[in-house]
Amino acid sequence: MSGNSNMFMYSLTVLQPSAITQAILGAFSGKKQQEIIVAQGSRLSLLRPDAAQGKVHSVLTIEVFGIIRCLAAFRLAGSSKDYVIVGSDSGRITILEYQPQVNRFHRLHLETFGKSGVRRVIPGQFLACDPKGRACLISSVEKNKLVYVLNRNAQAELTISSPLEAHKPHCLVFALVALDVGYDNPVFAALEVDYGESDQDATGFAYESIEKMLVYYELDLGLNHVVRKWSDTVDRSANILFQVPGGTDGPSGVLVCAEDSIYYRHMGRSTHRVPIPRRRGACEDPNRRRTIVSGVMHKMRGAFFFLLQTEDGDLLKVTLDYDDESGVSRIKVKYFDTVPIASSLCILKSGFLFVASEGGNHHFYQFEKLGDDDDEIEFSSDSFSPDPLDRTGPIYFHPRAPENLSLVEAIDSMNPLVDCKIANLTDDDAPQIYTVCGSGPRSTFRTLKHGLETTEIVSSELPGVPSAVWTTKLTNGDEFDAYIVLSFTNGTLVLSIGETVEEVTDTGFLSSAPTLAVQQLGEDALLQVHPKGIRHIRADRRVNEWPAPQHRSIVAASTNSRQVAVALSSGEIVYFEMDNDGQLAEYEEKKEMSGTVTCLSLGEVPEGRMRSSFLAVGCDDATVRILSLDPDSTLESKSVQALTSAPSSLCIMSMPDSASETSRSSTLYLHIGLYSGVYLRTVLDTVTGELTDTRTRFLGPKPVKIFKVVAQGLPSVLALSSRPWLGYSDARGQFMLTPLTYPMLEWGWTFSSEQCPEGMVGIQGQNLRIFTIEKLTDNLQQESIPLSYTPRKMLKHPDQPIFYVVEADANTLSVATKQKLLDSAQNGDTNELAPVEFGNPRGEGHWASCISVVDPVGKEVTQRIELEENEAAFSIAAVSFSSQDDEWFLVVGTGKDTRLSPRKSANGYIHIYRFINDGKELEFIHKTKVDEPPLALLGFQGRLLAGIGKDLKIYDLGMKQLLRKAQGQVAPNLINGLQTQGSRIIVSDVQESVTYVVYKYQDNRLIPFADDMIPRFTTCTAMVDYETVAGGDRFGNFWIVRCPQKASDESDEDPAGGHLIHERSYLQGAPNRLNLMCHFYPQDIPTSVQKAQLVTGGRDTLVWTGLQGTIGLMVPFVSREDVDFFQTLEQHMRTEDAPIAGRDHLIYRSYYVPVKGVIDGDLCENFSLLSRDKKAMIAAELDRSVREVERKIADMRSRVAY
């Protein structure tokens, strides 16, 4: 795999892709509850909609390591559980079962049918399942169709037959659906075109007369073979099919949707057609025909309806009138509502609609009504002939605000993610990720911050500044807390929790002194530790007081329900234990510590035990000692841990641990916070008291305080420094430490009441704050600012925290055109629709484009410059022109009358803007006409470097326009990206990878000196160092290339460049070739790559973003030892945890080019999900313990990322 590469990267995913390729609905858990399975890139996720809360929860996500192309759910007759069929690029059909008890997918069947990879004739593009779950058909785009019979055996296990072939050469498939035929033989319907004749006919007549056929394939279950049962011509433009319920539920057959028409078709039945209603409006072209892009059929209590979506996003409700004798008599269609364009729609029985949108957030709607009795016009097929050539009267409707659907939740989606910059604009301790994503009017500028979302419940000001807060129950059996105890410098305040929170005085707590600890002790007693003693408050309000010895005070205390330990100012430790009659008994001997004790921790009493057997003592000599509390060795020292600074806080607690000896058990940890702001977590051996496996993390410049809290029902750690952090076990069972999006707290404790069963209480300055943590799954918080059109590129102001985004939408009316149409429209037609919901009006050949000035801190767009005269902006740069005293200017490259396919523009322009008002506004200076739209712009040595078509040009700023200073043809096709360092320019070409160009100032020449040997359809590049470039291409590859040292040196030697010009070209290219250092196939198309740090004190990594919303990292390995370790681990993971859809991992990552120099971290991280014995086996092969392996994997991530 590695070859002789000496550069190794570790690939990690920070944010998984959010685009949904397909969503299917089913009862995958086998319960009444309906669930949604979505395919997101190479991941399969199970979503559980919660009807009560109107939310969608992500339950499980697995990495398939393959391209998921199609999904289908099916259910065997008589069963209540749905299975999933996954069609991927593995050349195999996979049947998965979701096992809710262990929350994972289990593979039931994996049947090979062809070569791997996405190929024209290998099935996997279309998949349809018989509604009774008896068979499925998997088809390729061309020729091949395979039918698998699904059944169950005597043990009630699912069986799958060998495939039955239904191939037909020269046949292209457009759509495939299973017919609902009740319990007759399963039938599948396909939309097909036979191109066999047109391939032979040189006159072109056969091509002109090609017909599109609707073909029925019947699986004869008795004879076990497949026949083409029926075929008939349909509309030439037909593109999609929908199943019509059959058997006892309906008339069976299919809806065939074509351009401008919806047909009902079935064998032996009459055809019906209804046109697709078009939008009426001032800006709408009345002649534009709509097509159906997605839809869903829903059955309910004997009735059924369809919701079909047009390319504008309008949902149409389609119903059929039918009787059992003559079948369907008419189709009725009417406008329903408008939702974002969906890749899949799912209607839930609980009355919700899930819209997996193609771009932007996914929406979850609730049905208010079904549009049954509203005043929307209903069109019927009675008025239209079924002949596709009949074009009588298009029908129209007026789009309106949603009436039938109400949005209950929008699920964040970064898809499509077009550009990204990482910067720290808010002076936080970690940088933020700024992205532009979305398409059309649903585009957004998003800011991503690392942190968990918190919801504030109470924030109230207190009379003084408290130093600490506790909550306590009254008795052991209480469910909720009864008191909040606040400690001030000179007193203690007790508040009771109820309907209202108010002060209580008769609690027995000493109010005239500050408090060190509060504990609910034994069955029904309370305990307060204050500097002068310990108060033991019995249930009958009797108080037993233990006074601190003379001239000494208590400095630290730790308690649990049966034990109390206090440290005195003299360095002695006094230990108490509760005896059988609820009395606190002091242990006779005091333990003298070497230094002053700063903190203590006892840990909870383990279930079924009398006592916690360890006491952790932190002293100011920078040590933590573990003392035994066992009766025969009380207060004997067990172990010592030396630290880098004095500990400020300790906490012994047990947490679930994936590396522990038995699965699903927990391990005892000692959490240590230091005065230096460092947090440590070590494993505390329950028998010996040894401290092992210490993991360190710097949290912030303030001393760390540690508290035990509960988050999502699991014990977690709240660590407070300059920011609050939460330590918890994530879905993989790995310990995660994530900051909370909450202000700095001085103290924190758990809080539980009827209204808020699982909250936290904290002190911030003079305020008491109560908050909860909603979910632990999202550790990146998003904030979005709406944009107008599809963003193309973004740029940060060189000094100010302001971004500039160029946006452009093809075939869309610009604001000026729209206004002109609105002005000239008759009355009544002028109400403009909100583009965010309804999209912008379309117009062939028109462009809508603008430059937006975005202030991410103020969360607003401060200026929007709409481009006119059908210009569209494609590139942006900030350039400081040395001829203008190094003043910064914004440069935007546009194209006029651009056509995308084939690429053609009337001409291009370069606009110059001046930054005014600290960059919050732009002032237009002038624009310069150029031959082609510049797709790449860059500031270069005080001038502007522009990639215009194949040419690289250097411009200087003049009074009236830009002045061309130098030019050179350096790229074979089209320059789409530029990078520079010194005199070196990296030019990326749309098809031909990167070319290294050197600019010779003396000769004023641009000379290419090195290029690549593989045609990479480059999308983005970044210079890693002077010789090395990282980039991505359109097919989803990530690569790093490097210029040979000799060529690099030679290029800079001669200031005139005479030698370089006369160097012999090698194989019709530049004289030198670049070497490939790394290559990896992450599947998603990289849209930006940059060198950045994601965490404070972390190393530089390569951060790349993918079109579907992925954010990934390439982490360079430092030591060869680590490389060897991870290479071996990766090898073992490939065999021990082979991808679930049957794709070979190594071949998947080598999809176009063999993987080189990159280790797949996502695969390595799956180690923690393996079974215990597999883990042990792999760890043994690596000569390490399971815990060490897990630690190494976790360290790789936590050192550089979240």
Partner 1 sequence: MADKLRATQQLEQLQARYVGTGHADTTKLYQPLFPPHRIPKDTYASYIGHPPLLEYMSVATGEPMAKMRTRFIEKMIQPVGKPPEKED
Where along the sequence are the contacts to partner 1 (CB under 8 A)? 19, 21, 41, 67, 69, 89, 118-120, 124-125, 141-142, 172-174, 193, 195, 198-204, 207, 210, 239-240, 291, 293-294, 311, 341, 343, 358-359, 415-416, 418, 439-440, 790, 809-812, 900-901, 1034-1036, 1083-1085, 1106-1108
Question: For residues 548, 550, 554 and 559, what is the CA-based torsion angle, rounded to 10 degrees?
Answer: -20
* Residue 1095 DSSP code: S
Q: Where are the beta strands (DSSP E) in 971-1085?
A: 975-981, 984-989, 994-1000, 1005-1011, 1018-1023, 1028-1033, 1038-1042, 1072-1073, 1075-1080
Q: With contact defined as beta carbons under 8 Å apart, do 717 and 726 qualify? A: yes
Q: Minimum distance between the CB of residue 237 and partner 1, rounded to whole angstroms?
A: 8
Minimal distance, residue 94 CB to partner 1, in Å: 17
Tell me the closest approach of the beta carbon of residue 874 to partner 1, in angstroms.
Answer: 11
Q: What whole-number distance in Å separates Cα of residue 109 and Cα of residue 96? A: 7
Burial of 432 from C-beta contacts in 10 A (0-12 / 13-18 / 19+): buried
- Return the number of the residue (208 or 1173) whose C-beta is nearest partner 1: 208
Token couple for 1107? 């079109």
Between CA 184 and CA 475 the distance in angstroms is 66
Q: Tell me how far apart the alpha carbons of residues 255 and 306 are, in angstroms, rounded to a whole number.
A: 10
Task: Report the residue number, 26 or 359, with the smaller CB distance to partner 1.
Answer: 359
- CB of residue 846 vs partner 1: minimum separation in angstroms? 11
Strands 1111-1116 and 1101-1106, sheet pairing: antiparallel
Task: Give the Cα separation of 763 and 748 in Å (integer).
Answer: 7
- Supply the minimum distance, in Å, between the C-beta of residue 780 and partner 1: 21
Which residues, listed in sequence order, are joined to residue 964 by a DSSP beta bridge? 955
Cβ-based nearer residue to partner 1, 102 or 202: 202
Which residue number, 791 or 1157, has a Cβ lying nearer to partner 1?
A: 791
For residue 68, the minimal CB distance to partner 1 (Å) is 8
Dist. CA 720–CA 729, nearest whole Å: 18
Q: How many residues does the chain have?
A: 1202
In whole angstroms, the minimum distance from the beta carbon of 1027 to partner 1 comes to 30
Pairing label, strands 1038-1042, 1075-1080 = antiparallel
Query: Strand ranges (DSSP E) for 153-221?
Result: 158-160, 164-165, 171-178, 187-194, 212-220
Q: Which is nearer to partner 1, 472 or 1087 (CB)?
A: 1087
CB of 222 to partner 1, least distance (A): 34
The SS3 assignment for 408 reads: strand
Nearer of residues 83 and 1151 to partner 1, judged by Cβ: 1151
Q: Please state the closest distance from residue 721 (CB atom) to partner 1, in A.
A: 40
Instruction: Write down the least CB distance from residue 195 to partner 1, Å.
Output: 5
Dist CA 511 CA 497 (whole Å):
18
Instruction: Check: CB of residue 460 under 8 Å from CB of residue 771.
Output: no
Of 142 and 337, CB closest to partner 1: 142
d(CA 247, CA 79): 19
CB 192 within 8 A of CB 174: yes
CB nearer to partner 1: give 108 or 810.
810
Nearest to 419 by CA among 437, 432, 402: 437
Residues 847, 898: contact at Cβ < 8 Å?
Answer: yes
**Nearer CB in complex with partner 1: 172/925:** 172
In angstroms, what is the minimal distance from the CB of 197 to partner 1?
11
CA 512 to chain centroid, in Å, comes to 53
**Residue position matching structure tokens 């009949």:** 390
Q: What are phi and psi of 716, to 5 degrees?
A: -140, 170
CB 432, min distance to partner 1, A: 24
Return the number of the residue (51 or 172) whose C-beta is nearest partner 1.
172
Shortest reach from residue 640's CB to partner 1, in Å: 55
Two tokens, residue 314: 């309008």
Q: Residue type at 725?
A: W
> Residue 345 or 1047: which CB sits closer to partner 1?
345
* Nearer to partner 1 (CB atom), residue 154 or residue 900: 900
The burial class, CB within 10 Å (0-12 / 13-18 / 19+), for 836 is middle
Locus of tokens 């906490």: 651
User: Which is nearer to partner 1, 337 or 809 (by Cβ)?
Assistant: 809
CB nearer to partner 1: pick between 191 and 854: 191
String of b and e for 569-579 (b: at least 16 CB within 10 Å)? bbbbbbbbbbe
Q: Residue 996 in contact with residue 1009, Cβ under 8 Å?
A: yes
Q: DSSP class of residue 114?
A: S
Query: What minimum distance in Å lies between the beta carbon of 69 and partner 1?
Result: 6
Smallest CA-to-CA distance from 265 within 216, 222, 314, 308 is with 216
| Nearer of residues 142 and 1190 to partner 1, judged by Cβ | 142
Tokens of 161: 């037959």
Least Cβ distance, residue 64 to partner 1 (angstroms): 13
Shortest distance (Å) from residue 1034 CB to partner 1: 6
Eight-state DSSP code of residue 452: B
CA distance 683 to 660: 10
Task: Name which of 795 and 808 has its Cβ closer to partner 1.
Answer: 808
